[in-house]
Amino acid sequence: MSMETPARTFPPLAEDAVVEDIVARFRARTLPREAWTHQSHLAVGLWHVLRHGEEAALALLRDGIRAYNEAVGVPNSDTRGYHETVTRYYAWAAARFLEHAGEGRLAGLVDRFVASRLGSKEGIFAFWSRAGLLSVEARRGWVPPDLAPLEAARLEAPVDAAQGAT
């Protein structure tokens, strides 16, 4: 998943079994590389946070993403593969989303998370500059936000207000 790609919409997930299948194939390292989209990333992340809590999910995601990348031929390097800061952000974002999401089908929760500013590719840039987030240091380890502290309320404000505050 590239943070440089433009915003993309995804078709709604038909049912919970679709999410469970994505997660199972990710964990078994059989999910086709082309199926490892932003939507799939967020489905896997949200599922892990929902099932294991934010901290345990983060540890599972770190290991799982690295292993998955290796299995599909993507090197975990300074320019590709696993990205620590992005992974930590989306685990945090999934947990904040779930705090307010209420009840619902798993597929619906994933769809709403993907469509939310917390789950969007652009939401992360309310907190980090592109240069800061796309740095080797941020890929290798946690780099705190360089634009604003992590606060979910920042993404709940109208887009113009959030952009004006950066």
Q: How confident is the model at residue 25 (pLDDT cuts 50, 70, 90)?
A: very high
**pLDDT over 60 at 34, yes or no:** yes
Q: Is the model's pTM score more than 0.85?
A: yes
SS3 state of residue 2:
coil
CB 22 within 8 A of CB 61: no
Q: Three-class SS string for 126-142?
A: HCCCHHHHCCHHHHHCC
Q: How confident is the model at residue 51 (pLDDT cuts 50, 70, 90)?
A: very high
What are the residue ranges spanned by the domains of the chain?
16-164
Distance CA 50, CA 127 (A): 24
Q: Encode burial over 127-138: b for 16+ CB neighbours within 10 A, e otherwise.
A: bbeeebbbbeeb
